[in-house]
Amino acid sequence: MSKPKKERTVLPAKQNIIVLLGGARSGKSTFAQEFATKLGQKVMFIATGEPIDDEMHARNEEHKKNRPKNWRTIESPRDINTVLKEQMSNVDVVIIDCLTLLVANLIGDDVDYLKAEKKIMTEIEELIVSINASTTSFIIVTNEVGLGLVPDNKLGRIYRDLLGKVNQLIVQHATQVYFMAAGIPIKIKDT
């Protein structure tokens, strides 16, 4: 008599959550784009840079020119979760570039630490829930701001501290983390 076949449980594919961490002009965005092309054809790029002046507008336009034309680009300086809920169908890879500007946009000129912390951490926690509910690969770009001098003003210190908290939280959920230095990716986490 043969043994009954054991039913196999099929688990959903675990998505990649790749975090690219580094200083300004360290090559994070370029590496994110190269990495995305290896993960899939259908890429959604969420740009968090808000064109608040002519120089920032010119930067945003230059970044757009450097992206593949078939990528869907969505400019969302805040509330990324709404974008994900509304726009994420038929996407292989989502690039969020970057958490650094998202945190700055959420803080604005607010120097009330607790109020800013609540607003920012709520946004990031909702983002993590959205990511974890998906099987799409995510590439998240963010700056490491803890290697420099302590800012000389309260708003700068609040920003640095809150971005540090955001970075720590997001890398806890990441499957891979790269530290970028002068265009060289250094893998610091791989689970």
pLDDT in tens, the chain (191 residues): 555 444 433 333 456 899 999 998 899 999 999 999 999 889 999 999 887 788 887 887 787 778 888 999 998 888 899 998 898 888 999 999 999 999 999 998 767 999 999 999 999 999 999 998 888 999 999 999 988 889 999 999 999 999 999 999 999 999 999 999 999 999 999 98
Q: What is the CATH number of the domain that holds 71?
A: 3.40.50.300
Within-domain flag for 117: yes
Q: How many domains are contained in the chain?
A: 1
Within-domain flag for 11: no
pTM: 0.87
pLDDT, residue 67, reads 83
- At 44, phi and psi to the nearest 5? -110, 125
Residues in the chain: 191
Within-domain flag for 1: no
d(C-alpha 80, C-alpha 72), whole Å: 15
Within-domain flag for 2: no
Under 8 Å between Cβ of 36 and 18? no
pLDDT, residue 14, reads 52
**Catalytic: 63?**
yes
Within-domain flag for 69: yes
* Alpha carbon distances (Å) from 141 to 62, 108, 115, 164, 187: 17, 20, 24, 13, 14
Within-domain flag for 5: no
Within-domain flag for 177: yes
pLDDT, residue 5, reads 47
51 is in which domain, residue-wise? 17-190
Within-domain flag for 4: no
Name the catalytic one among 63, 64, 72, 173: 63
